[in-house]
A and B are shown apart, each in its own frame.
Chain A
Amino acid sequence: MPWQFDNERPIYTQLLEKIRIRIISGQYPAGNRLPSVRELAAEAAVNPNTMQRALAELERSGLIYSQRTSGRYVTEDESLVSFIRESVAQEKIHSFYEEMKQLGYSREETMNLLNKDKGGSST
């Protein structure tokens, strides 16, 4: 199945996000080799150059690194992975609060609702 993309944003940033999630969720574990650009592009059904750009961008963030001959690897730095994991989680929480605000809920009311949610109790 080709990956799905939304229309308003560049494809490479969306690829980057999807691969980042695979890394922070452990689907691509720390220190492991990533599939090649070609393989990833074929899986996502996107242009290899676009995939290349997404991976180059991820490399800049330090989450992956390339070894000249053998391809790209996920960083061995697990604290970096969990740091990025947490910042992605923060982003999601922020946008969730934003959406709740549009519905007219304050932060506290949102928290109360969250706690009332089945299985959502924090205690």
Chain B
Amino acid sequence: MNSILECSHVNKRFGRKEVLHDVNIQIEPGHIIGLLGPNGSGKTTLIKLACGLLTPSEGDIRILGEPAGPSSKLKIAYLPDKSCLSDWMKVSQIVDMFHDFYSNFDRIKAYEMLGRLDIDPKLKLKTLSKGTKEKVQLILVMSRKADLYLLDEPIGGVDPAARDYILQTILTNYNEEGSILISTHLIADVEQVLDRVIFLKEGRVVLDSSVDDIRIQNRKSVDELFREVFSC
């Protein structure tokens, strides 16, 4: 059985700046994993490497046993940290576009979620608030039946009530044989949804452990431990 994602000895440099250093990560099916670290620790770079938008300077990345590349795009549902959708399009047009692009996109599911969050599909993207745009993006990503969901800051811009709904959406919609990697600063909000966390510090993995093991060993939550490890 192949791991969904396997990074071995991954280094990434931009010019002379080393952003990731000897990163080794293995993700098996059926997990929700938090990728946690302060700004500039390499979270987004790691996610971009995993979806094949960047290539490692050294080391190897495999998705279900194959190198990241065109064939892995169908297996990965990626939520970028910045919006990549055209502002002039209507929500319904974007849904159609995703349907055309991805054979594993479930249009009915997308409309269900839009309805539940009270988003009118006839509206153009540019008329939506920042938070609503984020919700639309997340809905598009979660409506795919993928093996690996890479969510880069999925709940940063949305209000706490919608945050709960979004976490519910993530919990109830992900494919059970798949896994989710979530990068976020809002640890307290997602902690109970995660079963494992990876701490990145200056491009290195400094902790890779289950949430409950952290609580058992340290008698504190992941959120509290994070504040301790990364205290300024």
Chain A interface (Cβ < 8 Å from any Cβ of B): 2, 5, 7-12, 38, 41-42, 44-50, 53
A49 touches B164 (CB 8 A): no
Q: Which of B174-207 contact A (CB under 8 A)?
A: 176, 192-195
How far does the Cβ of A88 sit from chain B's closest Cβ, in whole Å? 21
Chain B interface (Cβ < 8 Å from any Cβ of A): 30-32, 164, 167-168, 171-172, 176, 192-195, 211-212, 215-216, 219-221, 223-224
B220 touches A7 (CB 8 A): yes
With A and B bound together, what is the CA distance between A38 and B171 in angstroms? 9
A42 touches B172 (CB 8 A): yes
How far does the Cβ of B115 sit from chain A's closest Cβ, in whole Å? 19
A53 touches B212 (CB 8 A): yes
Chain B's closest residue to A49 (CB) is B195
How far does the Cβ of A37 sit from chain B's closest Cβ, in whole Å? 10
How far does the Cβ of A51 sit from chain B's closest Cβ, in whole Å? 10
A45 touches B224 (CB 8 A): no
- 6 A-B pairs with the lowest CB-CB distances in the bound complex, closest first: A10-B212, A7-B221, A47-B195, A10-B215, A49-B195, A46-B192
When the two chains form the complex, which single residue of B30, B31, B192 contacts A11, counting CB atoms closer than 8 Å? B192
Given the known inter-chain contacts A10-B212, A50-B211, A50-B212, please indicate yes or no for A45 contacting B168, CB distance below 8 A: yes
Q: Which of chain B's residues have a CB closer than 8 A to the CB of A45? A: 164, 167-168, 171, 192-193
> Could you name 9 residue pairs across A and B whose Cβ atoms are closer than 8 Å?
A5-B192, A7-B215, A7-B221, A8-B220, A10-B212, A42-B168, A42-B171, A46-B193, A47-B32
A11 touches B211 (CB 8 A): yes
Chain B's closest residue to A53 (CB) is B212
With A and B bound together, what is the CA distance between A91 and B172 in angstroms? 35
How far does the Cβ of B83 sit from chain A's closest Cβ, in whole Å? 27
How far does the Cβ of B54 sit from chain A's closest Cβ, in whole Å? 29
With A and B bound together, what is the CA distance between A55 and B211 in angstroms? 17
With A and B bound together, what is the CA distance between A38 and B173 in angstroms? 11
Chain A's closest residue to B212 (CB) is A10
When the two chains form the complex, which single residue of B164, B171, B193, B216 contacts A10, counting CB atoms closer than 8 Å? B216
B31 touches A49 (CB 8 A): yes
How far does the Cβ of A45 sit from chain B's closest Cβ, in whole Å? 6
How far does the Cβ of A113 sit from chain B's closest Cβ, in whole Å? 32
B192 touches A47 (CB 8 A): yes
How far does the Cβ of B195 sit from chain A's closest Cβ, in whole Å? 4
Q: A45-B168, A46-B193, A53-B212 are in contact. List 14 more A-B contacts (CB 8 A).
A: A7-B223, A8-B220, A9-B219, A10-B216, A11-B212, A11-B215, A38-B172, A41-B171, A44-B192, A47-B192, A48-B176, A49-B31, A50-B192, A50-B212
